[in-house]
Amino acid sequence: MNSGEFALDPAAEPIADADWLRAFVDRYIAGWNTGDGAAVAACVTEDTRWLDPSEAELITGRTGVAKFVHDTKRAFPDVHYTTVFEPVITPDARAAIVPWRMTGTHLGPIDPPGFAGTGKKFDLFVVDIWQFRAGLIWRSKATWDLNELLLQLELLPKRNGFAERAMARAQRIAVKLRP
């Protein structure tokens, strides 16, 4: 996903205040932690644009967000979000920066690309940037380390391990063989 597809839009609605944002975050996180895709989707506009490092394509609309929650809960049934510290409102009040801790266990498929559950636990730091319309998330960009998740789930070889060195050798050979 090209992060250039997300730019802060000056047309976003100003965020009323920190208390309103905190209550919104609590409602949103409750939807995620109960696996209620409809509750999370109710926090976004019908035309929301949602970027996440795990997705190859932009997620759009409430239906897309609800499916994303469903797919996440299928792969990580115990996925759990906690706030790391209070969300921050940008100085112009046109965006919120929301830090999370995301934990869970990989028990179900990640499809695409088709990874089977590994039974491995993960623990990641996530930062969302949100913009609002009509009191709902209109634009969302999640930032977190996809490589770190894959390492924790053992879907990538361990750093400096035999498999990683073998992949590096294969890559160097492939580069040399290119026309």
Residue range 82-118, pLDDT digits in tens: 999 999 999 999 999 999 999 999 999 998 888 999 9
Say what the pLDDT of residue 5 is.
Answer: 64
How many residues in total does the chain contain?
179
The helix (run of H) or strand (run of E) holding residue 124 is strand 121-133
Residue 3's pLDDT band, with cuts at 50, 70 and 90, is low
State the pLDDT at residue 1.
42
pLDDT at 4 over 70: no
Average pLDDT, the chain: 94
Does residue 169 register a pLDDT over 70?
Answer: yes
Domain holding 102: CATH number?
Answer: 3.10.450.50
CB contact at 8 A, 97 and 140: no
Q: What is the extent of the structural domain holding 54?
A: 3-177
Residue 70: how many other CB atoms lie within 10 Å: 15
In percent, how much of the chain has pLDDT > 70?
A: 97
Dihedral sign, CA of 147, 150, 156, 158?
positive
Instruction: Provide the domain count of the chain.
Output: 1
Enter the tokens of residue 67. Answer: 């499916």
C-alpha span between 53 and 48 (Å, rounded): 17
pLDDT of residue 48: 96
What is the rounded distance in angstroms from the CA atom of residue 70 to the CA atom of residue 29?
Answer: 14
pTM: 0.88
Mean pLDDT, residues 13-27 taken together = 96
Amino acid at 151: L
pLDDT in tens, 112-148: 888 999 999 999 999 999 999 999 999 999 999 999 9
Q: Report the relative pairing of strands 80-83 and 59-60 from DSSP bridges.
A: unpaired
